Amino acid sequence: MMHPETPICNTCGEHIGFGPDGNGVFVGCHECNFPICKSCLEYEINEGHTACIQCGTPYDGNLTKVGEMEKEPVTRNTMAAHLSNSQDAGLHARNVSTVSTVDTEMTDESGNPIWKNRVESWKDKKNKKKKGGDKVAKEVQVPEDQHIEEKQQSADPNAMQPPSQIIPIPKSQITPYRIVIILRLIILGLFFHYRITNPVESSYGLWLTSVICEIWFAISWVLDQFPKWYPINRVTFTDELSARYEREGEPSELAAVDFFVSTVDPLKEPPLITANTVLSILAVDYPVEKVSCYVSDDGAAMLTFESLVETAEFARKWVPFCKKFSIEPRAPEFYFSQKIDYLKDKVQPSFVKERRAMKRDYEEYKVRVNALVAKAQKTPEEGWTMQDGTPWPGNNPRDHPGMIQVFLGHSGAHDIEGNELPRLVYVSREKRPGYQHHKKAGAENALVRVSAVLTNAPYILNLDCDHYVNNSKAVREAMCFMMDPQVGRDVCYIQFPQRFDGIDRSDRYANRNTVFFDVNMKGLDGIQGPVYVGTGCVFYRQALYGYGPQSLPTLPSPSSSSSCCCCGPKKPKKDLEEFKRDARRDDLNAAIFNLKEIESYDDYERSLLISQMSFEKTFGMSSVFIESTLMENGGLAESANPATMINEAIHVISCGYEEKTAWGKEIGWIYGSVTEDILTGFKMHCRGWRSIYCMPVRPAFKGSAPINLSDRLHQVLRWALGSVEIFLSRHCPLWYGWGGGRLKLLQRLAYINTIVYPFTSLPLVAYCTLPAICLLTGKFIIPTLSNIAAVWFLGLFLSIITTSVLEIRWSGVSIEELWRNEQFWVIGGVSAHLFAVFQGFLKMLAGVDTNFTVTAKAADDQEFGELYMIKWTTVLIPPTTLLVLNLVGVVAGFSDALNKGYEAWGPLFGKVFFAFWVILHLYPFLKGLMGRQNRTPTIVILWSVLLASVFSLVWVKIDPFVSKGDSNLTQGCIAIDC
C-alpha cells in the first residue's frame, strides 16, 4: 500500500506515484508542482490540454511526446468495448462494478465475462501496490503544506482563475450570530428549568399542555437553527468559463445540457405559460448544438401537442431576435409586459422597428394558441382527430401508447436567418390500466431515459412548466461549478432559488419563501449543500444513475471490541466480522456503483456485489440505454443507429419498463412521496455527493405562485403531506443512511426538520387555543413571576429578537419578509399542516389516498385578481375557529375585569397579550378570509361559530382545569362565612 503521506492527485484522488526512474515523486508541472498523477496527466494530454490547469504553463516536450505515443483511439461502439477501455482510464471513466449478465455484449473477444476480467485486474493492481509499498516507505515525501506554498509562490499571475469562488460571511456578522445562538440555547435551558420546577397547581392541565408545546417548539428551533451555522455566499465568473472552454475559432467545449419541462393538464397549466417556458429555453445564451428541450405531457393532451407545433414555428423568429439584441428575459409574455425602458442599453437603430414587428408576431401567435385552447374546452364525442384524419393516440389519457415527436434540431427547421435551433422533443409516456405511474417522479424518470437515448447530455436541467428562464446565462452560471475540475467532481446538482412574478407587494401569504431561499439554503450550502426543491436545478446525470462521487470518504472504522471494566465481555470475532460485512453491504446499497473502496473488500464480498446486481436489474432491458449510462461525459455511442433511436426511445418509456428495476428506488427520481424532490436529493447526499447553491445577481428562473388563500393552503398541504409520507417510510432521515457515514450531522438535522415540521401543527393548535381558555376561565399557564424568573423570560424574549436581527444582517432579507414568514408559519401550521398529518397517517396506515388538484398557474387579467378569491375548503375551518375563540376570549376577559375591579386588570394584560399574539399572526388569514368585498363563505362562518360555541359550552359545563381541591376549599370558605 502507498505511504499515507504520499501526495494525492487533485483530479482522481489516487496517490500520485513515482516518476520514470522510480526514485522520486512524479511531477507533471515543474513550474507549480500541481499534484496530478501520470494517468490523469496523460488523459489531459490526450484530450488536447497541453498546459497545466493550475498555472497555464505548457507541459514538458518529452512528456507530451510520451502522451502522444501512448494515446490510443477510444472506441465506444459497444458496452464491452467501453468496459475494456475503461480499465486503463482509471477514475476518469466512472466504472460500474455490478455487472453480471450472459449477453454477448458483456463478454470479451475470448468469450469470458467482462466482470471476471475486472476482478483479475483488481487483484493484479492490489499485488503491484503491495510490492511497491516498501519503496514508498523509504521515500522522503514533501509535506502537502509545502506544496501549497510552492504553488502560491510560483503561480503565474496571468494564469486562468477559477470560474467560481466562495465568499464567507464576514466574521463581524457571523460571530455575534453564533454567540447569540449559544446564549439562547443556555437561556432556553434555564427557562425550561424554571417552567418545569414551578407548576401552576390551580390550572395544572393548562400548565402541562403549555410546557409540552414549548419543549416541542424548542426542538423545532434547534432543528431549524443549527443547519444555518456555516452560511456562505458564492460568486461565478462566466468570462473565465468562456476563456477555458470557448476559444475563438474552435468548437465550443462546454458540456451539453438537456432541459426537462413537465406539464399535466393544459386547462390548469395554460399552454401559453408552458410555451413561454419552452421559448425561453430555446433562446438561452448557450451553444445551440449543446441544448435540447424535452417537454413531458403526462396528460397526453392534443392541445399541448398542437401548441408546441405553433411554438416551434414561432421560435424560428423569436430565438434570433433574442440573441441579436440580447433580450432579457427571453420569455416573450414577460418581456413585452415588463414596465421598464426597453430602449436602455440598445445601440442598434433597427431595434425599435424589429421589436414592434416581433410584438405583432407574438400577438398573432397568442391568438392562434388561444384559439386552440377555446377549441379544446369541449371534447368531441368521437375524440380528437389529427390533421391527417387519424385519431389522436392520447384520447384516453389513462390508456394510450408512448408518443415522441422531434420538432426542431440539427435535422429540423432552421430559424429565419438559416441558423440551427436547439432540439425540441415532445414526450408522452405510455399509460395502461393496472400500472403504477408515480405521477411527476415517473414522468421525470421517463425523460431521463428518453434523453439518454436521443441526446445523452451529461447534465440535466429540470423546470416546472410555469418557470421560465429569466437569466439567459443561467446555464453558464451552473457550468461555472459543474465544469470546474476543483469543485465539480463531487457535485450532484446545482440548485437555484425560486423567484416569482405576480405576487402582491406585501406578499401577504409568504409566497416568495424568502427566508427559506435566502437564509436556510445559504446555511446548507456551507455544510453539504442545499436540498432539492423540485425545479430550477441542474443535475449531473451520473448522480441520478446511482453512481457515487469520485472521491468518497472512507467507511468509518469499527469501534474497538476490547473489554474494559464498563463495557462488559469482548464480543466474538465472528459477530464483528458479520457486523462489518452488513455495514459494508448497506453502504454499497447507498452508492450502487462505486469502485473507490472496492479494493477493501474480500473476494466473498466482491463476488456477492457482482453476482447480485446487474445492469438489467438496475436500468432495465435496453442495451442502448445501458450503454449510455457508461459514458461519463455524455454523448451518443458511435454504434447508435439514428433509424432505431426513436423505437428505442419509445421502448424505454413503456409503462412496464421499470418493473423489477431500481428506478424510483435507488436511481432517478425516488418514489414514495408526493414531494419526490426531497427524497431524490436526500438519497444523493447519503451517497456522499454534495450540492451547490447558485444565486446570480439576476434571478436565473422565475415562476408563478398561487396567491389566493385557498390555493396557497392546498399547495402547502401537498408539501406537508409529502413530508409526512417520508417520515413514515424507510427513507426517514431519523434512521436511514447512517451506515455509510456520508451524510453530515448538520445536514441530517436539516432533512429531519423537513419531515417533522408538519407535526408542529399539533402543539401549535393547542398553544393557540390556550389564550382563549385562559381568558374564559380566569386561569393562566404561568405562576406569579419572581425576579429571577422575569430575567429568564426577558432574556429569552431578547435573544429571539437579537437572533432575528443578526440573521437579517448577514442574509439580506427584510424585517417584513421575516415577519410574513413567521405569520404564515402559524397560518399554515394550524390549517394545512394539521390536515397533512391526519391525511398522511390515513394514507400510510389505512390506505386512504388523497387526490390533489394541480394548482392553477395563470392569474386573472386584473393585477392580483386572484388575491381576493375565496374558495370553499375544509382547511379554512381550524384557523377561523381559533380566531373566533380568541376574539370571544378577549371580549370575555375585558368584561370579567370590568366586573371584578382594579385588581383584575394586572393579570388580564398577560392573558390579552397572549391572545393578541395569536390574532396578530392570523391577521393575514383573517384579511384573506374576508375577501375583496369583506364577504366570507357562509359555510365557513357557520362551521367556525358552531365549533366555537360548542367548545365554550362544553368548557363551562366540564371546566376540567379547575382542581377538585380548589373547589372544596371554596365551598368550605363559603360555609364558614355563612
- What does the pLDDT look like over 702-733, one tens digit per residue? 988 877 788 888 888 989 998 998 998 888 89
- Does the pLDDT of residue 154 top 60, yes or no? no
pLDDT digits (tens, 9 = 90+) for 880-905: 888 888 888 888 877 777 777 666 66
Phi then psi for 797, rounded to 5 degrees? -60, -45
Inform me whether the pLDDT recorded for 865 exceeds 90: no
Helix (H, G, I), strand (E, B) or coil at 508: coil
Task: Characterise 615 by phi-psi region: left (phi > 0), alpha (psi -120 to 50), beta (else).
Answer: alpha
Q: pLDDT confidence of 438, banded at 50, 70, 90?
A: confident
Determine if residue 964 is labeled as part of a ligand binding site: no
User: Is 440 annotated for ligand binding?
Assistant: yes
Preceding peptide of 329 cis, ω within 30°: yes
Residue 548 has pLDDT above 70, yes or no: yes
Q: Which of 72-76, 309-313, 555-559, 944-948 has the lowest mean pLDDT?
A: 72-76
The pLDDT of residue 522 is above 50: yes
Sheet of 423-428: strand order equals 403-408, 423-428, 291-297, 257-263, 459-464, 537-540, 491-495, 690-693
pLDDT of residue 532: 93
Level-2 CATH architecture, domain 1-63? 2-Layer Sandwich (3.30)
Q: Which residue has the cell 454504434?
A: 639
pLDDT in tens, 563-585: 343 444 444 444 545 544 454 44
Domain 241-549+690-705 sits in CATH 3.40.960.10: no
- Quick check: helix, strand or coil at residue 375? helix
Residues forming a β-bridge with 703: 500
Would the annotation count 262 as a binding residue? yes
DSSP string, 934-947: T---HHHHHHHHHH
State the burial class of residue 315 (Cβ atoms within 10 Å of its Cβ: 0-12, 13-18, 19+): buried
Buried-state track 322-335, b at ≥16 Cβ within 10 A, e below 16: bbebebbbbbbbbb
955 pLDDT tier (thresholds 50, 70, 90): low
Confidence tier at 418 by pLDDT (50, 70, 90): confident
The length of the chain, given as a count of residues: 978
**What separation in angstroms does the CA of 193 have from each of 181, 196, 793, 962?**
19, 5, 12, 24
Domain ranges of the chain: 1-63, 241-549+690-705
**Per-residue confidence (pLDDT) for residue 766, from 0 to 100:** 92
Share the mean pLDDT of the chain.
Answer: 75
**Section 493-499 average pLDDT:** 93
Query: Residue 439, annotated ligand binder?
Result: yes
pLDDT at 54: 65
Residue with cell 401549535: 764
Residues with a known catalytic role? 298, 677
- Tell whether 428 is in a known binding site: no
CA 524/CA 528 separation, integer angstroms: 6
Q: Are strands 403-408 and 423-428 parallel, antiparallel or unpaired?
A: antiparallel
pTM of the model: 0.74
Residue 642 has pLDDT above 80, yes or no: no
What is the predicted pLDDT for the residue at 587?
45
Angstrom distances, CA of residue 52 to CA of 27, 165, 249, 680: 11, 20, 22, 37
pLDDT, mean of residues 109-114: 37
711 is in an annotated binding site: no
Confidence check: pLDDT of 277 > 60: yes
Instruction: Name the range with the highest mean pLDDT among 5-14, 115-124, 317-326.
Output: 317-326
Note whether 670 and 731 are within 8 A (CB).
yes
Assign 463 to helix, strand or coil: strand
Q: What's the confidence (pLDDT) of residue 962?
A: 45
Structure-model confidence comparison of residues 938 and 551, the more confident one: 551
Is the pLDDT higher at 84 or at 456? 456
Sorting pLDDT into bands at 50, 70 and 90, what band is 609?
Answer: very low
pLDDT in tens, 354-398: 889 999 999 999 999 999 888 888 888 888 888 777 888 888 888
Task: Identify whether the C-beta of residue 743 lies closer than 8 Å to the C-beta of residue 737.
Answer: yes
> Is 585 exposed, middle or buried, given 0-12, 13-18 or 19+ CB atoms closer than 10 A?
middle
Assign 106 a pLDDT band (cuts: 50, 70, 90): very low
* Residue 408: strand pairing partners: 413, 424
Check residue 539 and give its pLDDT.
93
Name every residue whose Cβ is closer than 8 Å to that of residue 274 and which is 6 or more positions away in sequence. 261, 263, 266, 295, 304, 307, 465, 466
With cut-offs at 50, 70 and 90, classify the pLDDT of residue 908. Answer: confident
Looking at per-residue pLDDT, the higher value among 967 and 187 belongs to 187
Residue of 354, 318, 350, 317 whose CA lies nearest to 334: 318
What does the angle CA 291 – CA 366 – CA 336 come to, to the nearest 5 degrees? Answer: 75
Looking at the predicted structure, is the pLDDT value of residue 964 above 60?
no
For the ranges 26-35, 160-169, 314-323, the maximum mean pLDDT occurs at 314-323
Percent of the chain with pLDDT over 70: 70
Q: pLDDT band at 250, cuts 50/70/90? A: confident
pLDDT in tens, 125-144: 445 444 444 443 333 344 43
- Cα separations (Å) of 828 from 240, 434, 878? 45, 36, 10
The pLDDT value given to residue 261: 93
- Write out pLDDT tens, residues 806-850: 999 998 898 988 999 898 899 989 988 998 898 888 877 766 665
Per-residue confidence at 765, pLDDT binned at 50, 70, 90? very high
Residue ranges of alpha helices (H) inside 632-708 are 642-652, 676-686
Residue 454 in contact with residue 688, Cβ under 8 Å? no
For strand 459-464 and strand 257-263, is the pairing parallel, antiparallel, or unpaired? parallel
3-state secondary structure of 412: coil
According to DSSP, the β-strands at 537-540 and 491-495 are antiparallel
**Residue 946: per-residue pLDDT:** 61
**Residue 610 pLDDT greater than 80, yes or no:** no
